[in-house]
Amino acid sequence: MSSPWTSPDPTQYDLGHADAVPPQNGQAAQAPQPAYPGPSGQPAYPGPSGQPAFAPPGAGPAGVAAPQPAYAAPDTPGNSAPTASGYSQASTWSWAPKPGIIPLRPLTLTDLFSGSFSALRKNHSVLFGFTIIVMTVVALLSLAGTMLPLFSFTSLMSNDLDPQASSKALLDSAYLSVVSTIVGYIALLAGSFLAGTVLDGVLSVAVSQLVIGKKITFKQSWALVKPRLWSMLGASFLSMLAVGSPLLVLVILFFMSLYSGPGSDAFFSLFGLLLALSVPVVLASYVISIRFLYAPVCAVLEEKGPIEAVKRSWALTSGSFWVTLGRVILINVVVGFIAGLIVQVIGIIAAIVMFTILGDPSDPSNVWSTIILYGVISALQMLAYSLVVPILAAYQTLMYVDEKIRKENFAPLLAHASQG
C-alpha cells in the first residue's frame, strides 16, 4: 500500500525539476527520468520508475512546443509568489493531476468541501460505517453515565422521604449517588477520548489514501492505525492538556473566590480578576487548539511520537494561523448547523412521544419512564453526530494535506505515490 506520508523530505524530490525518483524500501535513488515539460516552462510530474513523467494536457515531447492555454508562470506579472506560509494572493496552478478526491495543488475552500464529500461517497463503508459503530459505543456510555447518577439520586430521594430509613441508609445512598456520578462521568470521558482518538486515526488514514486514489478497507486502515495508537493517544492527551491548562486558571480563581466567602473584599477582587481574564484565557486556549490541530494526524500518518507530533503540528500551522482559524470556524459552523438540525428533529419527536404516550412527566408514576426517555434521547442525539463527524475528519485531513503541499512541495510526491 502506498504511503508517501513517511517518505523522506519531499523537497529532495522536487518533481518540478524531475531529476530524481524517491528511493523505495532502502533502494538507492534512481537516475533522473525523462520528462515532458509543462506549459510555459512549468515543471512536469514524473511517473513511476522507468516511465516518463506526465505533464499537463497539451505538452509535447521535450523540445517541441505545443499550443498552450493561457497560463501565468509564478514569476510573471499578475501572480504573486507564495509567502513563507505557502499562501499567495493569486493562484499559479491552472492544471494539476487529480488521482483521487482532490487536485494535487494548493486547495481552495471549494476543494476542501468537495473533497470531503467526495471522500464520503467513495469510501462510505469506513467513514460512515465505522463512525456509526464508534458513536454507538459512545452513546451507550453516555446513556450509562446518565442513568447511574439518576438511579442513585432516585434511591437517595426515596430513603430521604422514608421516615423509617436510618441515618446509615441515608449516608449509604448519598455515598452511592456521589460515587456513581463520578464513575459514570469518568467512564464517559475516558471512553469518549479513546473512541474519538481511534476514530480520528482510522478516518484520517482512509482519507489520506483517497487523496492518492486508493480506497482501503477498515481492516487495512486499522492495520496502519494500530501500531500508532499509543502515539495518537499521547498526542491527543498533550493537545488536550495544553488547551485545558489556561482554562484551569479560571477554575482555580472561581473556587478561590467561593472559598474567600461571598461579600468579602477578597471575593470581589478574585471574581473581578476572573472576569478580566476570562476572554484572554479562552482566546489563548483556542489559539493553542488551532496550533495543535494536526498533532493526531501527524502521529498516525507521519509516524511521529507524541511530542514530535505536537511540534510538527505547531510547525505546519506557523505562518498560516489565520487561514487555518478561518477554515476551522467555517467547517464548525457548517457541521454545527447540520448536527443542530438533526438534534432538534430528535428533540421534537421525543417531546411528542413524551406528552402523547407518557402524559405529564411530573407525574410520580411516570418518573422512571421519563428518565429512561431522557437517557435514550441523549444517546440518540450523540449518535446523530456520527453523520457529521466524518465530514469534519475528512475536512481536517485535507487541510493537513494542503499545508504539506503549500509548504513542502508535497504534491509531486503524492503524484508519484498514486502511480504505485
Predicted confidence (pLDDT) at residue 331 exceeds the cutoff of 60: yes
Predicted confidence (pLDDT) at residue 304 exceeds the cutoff of 80: yes
How far from chain centre, in Å, is Cα 287? Answer: 16
Distance, CA of 103 to CA of 111 (rounded, Å): 8
**Which residue type occupies 340?**
G
C-alpha cell at 156: 437517595
* Run of H or E including 183: helix 167-211
In-domain check, residue 132: yes
Select the more confidently predicted residue: 267 or 354.
267
Local structure of residue 21 (DSSP, 8 states): B
Q: Helix, strand, coil % (nearest 5) of the chain?
A: 70, 0, 30
Distance, CA of 69 to CA of 251 (rounded, Å): 61
In-domain check, residue 189: yes
Q: What are phi and psi of 233, to 5 degrees?
A: -60, -40
Confidence of residue 283 (pLDDT cuts 50, 70, 90): very high
Predicted confidence (pLDDT) at residue 343 exceeds the cutoff of 50: yes
Q: What is the model's pLDDT at position 235?
A: 95
Q: What is the mean pLDDT of residues 390-406?
A: 95
Q: What is the model's pLDDT at position 196?
A: 87
Predicted confidence (pLDDT) at residue 370 exceeds the cutoff of 60: yes
Most confidently modeled range among 28-32, 88-92, 117-121, 346-350: 117-121
- In whole angstroms, how far apart are CA 39 and each of 59, 70, 179? 6, 9, 70
Cα dihedral 220, 224, 225, 226 sign? positive
C-alpha cell at 125: 463503508
Q: What is the model's pLDDT at position 170?
A: 58
* Run of H or E including 264: none
**Whether the Cβ atoms of residue 406 and residue 85 lie closer than 8 Å to each other:** yes
pLDDT above 90: percentage of residues in the chain: 36
Predicted confidence (pLDDT) at residue 407 exceeds the cutoff of 80: yes
C-alpha cell at 366: 411516570
Domain count, the chain: 1
- Least confident window among 73-82, 145-154, 287-296: 73-82
Predicted confidence (pLDDT) at residue 279 exceeds the cutoff of 50: yes
Distance, CA of 234 to CA of 223 (rounded, Å): 19
Predicted confidence (pLDDT) at residue 330 exceeds the cutoff of 90: yes
Name the residue among 413, 399, 415, 410 with its Cα closest to residue 107.
399
In-domain check, residue 133: yes
Q: Which residue has the cell 499537463?
A: 56
Q: pTM for this one?
A: 0.72
**Whether the Cβ atoms of residue 36 and residue 53 lie closer than 8 Å to each other:** yes
The mean pLDDT value of the chain amounts to: 75
Owning domain of residue 174: 125-197
Confidence of residue 328 (pLDDT cuts 50, 70, 90): very high
Predicted confidence (pLDDT) at residue 402 exceeds the cutoff of 90: yes
Confidence of residue 155 (pLDDT cuts 50, 70, 90): low
Confidence of residue 6 (pLDDT cuts 50, 70, 90): low
Predicted confidence (pLDDT) at residue 28 exceeds the cutoff of 50: no
Residue 45's DSSP bridge partners are: 54
Predicted confidence (pLDDT) at residue 294 exceeds the cutoff of 60: yes
Distance, CA of 112 to CA of 99 (rounded, Å): 15
In-domain check, residue 290: no
Distance, CA of 130 to CA of 386 (rounded, Å): 9
Most confidently modeled range among 111-115, 179-183, 253-257: 111-115
Distance, CA of 188 to CA of 183 (rounded, Å): 8
In-domain check, residue 171: yes
Confidence of residue 33 (pLDDT cuts 50, 70, 90): very low
Taking the CA atoms of residue 173, residue 179, residue 184 and residue 185 in that order, the dihedral angle to the nearest 10 degrees is 130
Sheet strands (E) in 276-349: none
Q: What is the model's pLDDT at position 68?
A: 40
Q: What is the mean pLDDT of residues 346-355?
A: 75
Q: What is the mean pLDDT of residues 10-24?
A: 44
Q: Read out DSSP for 90-119?
A: S---S----SSSS-SS---HHHHHHHHHHH
**Whether the Cβ atoms of residue 21 and residue 49 lie closer than 8 Å to each other:** yes
Q: What is the mean pLDDT of residues 159-165?
A: 51
Q: What is the model's pLDDT at position 113?
A: 95
Q: What are phi and psi of 108, to 5 degrees?
A: -95, 175
Predicted confidence (pLDDT) at residue 54 exceeds the cutoff of 80: no
Q: What is the model's pLDDT at position 222?
A: 92
195-211 confidence digits (pLDDT tens): 889 999 999 999 999 99
C-alpha cell at 6: 513517511
In-domain check, residue 159: yes
Predicted confidence (pLDDT) at residue 55 exceeds the cutoff of 50: no
In three-state form (DSSP H/G/I as H, E/B as E, the rest C), the secondary structure along 265-293 is HHHHHHHHHHHHHHHHHHHHHHHHHHHCC
Confidence of residue 35 (pLDDT cuts 50, 70, 90): very low
Q: What is the model's pLDDT at position 350?
A: 73
Q: Read out DSSP for 342-358?
A: HHHHHHHHHHHHIIIII
In-domain check, residue 230: no
In-domain check, residue 408: no
Select the more confidently predicted residue: 257 or 111.
111
Q: What is the model's pLDDT at position 390?
A: 92
